Amino acid sequence: MTHVAAALIRNEGKILICQRGAGGSTAFLWEFPGGKLEPSETLEECLVRECKEELEIEIKVGKVFAEKEYEYPDRRIAFTFFEAELTGGEIKANVHKDVEWITAAELMDYEFCPADVEIIEKLNY
């Protein structure tokens, strides 16, 4: 099982989302920023590292918003979604095709990775 940390970064009533690049079963789908846990780091440390590497931003990790396991055709992933706050940096899409700030209501207008769909529904309640 792969462990992944994801951030629900909110700013001025909007949420940060990222579009995956080409390749794999989730190519060009949208997701929340984050990534895979490396040995000897906590999920919170993973999230801070991934946001720095992929987006060149600093975040403050808050409480857990949701936890979810999802089985893709080739792997099983345990996701932990955290509330997070942007504290520094200027967003650069180093690994993503695109990055956008959108409202919770607008989340339904984007095609997300299957594991994120339940989280989007929870954000809209």
How does pLDDT run along the chain (125 residues), one tens digit per residue? Answer: 999 999 999 999 999 999 999 887 788 999 999 999 999 999 999 999 999 999 999 999 999 999 999 998 888 999 999 999 999 999 999 999 999 999 999 999 999 998 898 899 888 76
Domain boundaries of the chain, sorted by first residue = 10-123
- Report angle CA 116, 117, 123 to the nearest 5 degrees: 90
Residue 83, C-beta contacts closer than 8 angstroms, at least 6 positions apart: 8, 10, 61, 62, 63, 64, 65
Model-level pTM?
0.92
Task: Say which CATH topology domain 10-123 has.
Answer: Nucleoside Triphosphate Pyrophosphohydrolase (3.90.79)
What does the pLDDT read at residue 125? 66
* Tokens read off for 64: 């857990």
Q: Would you state the pLDDT for residue 75? A: 84
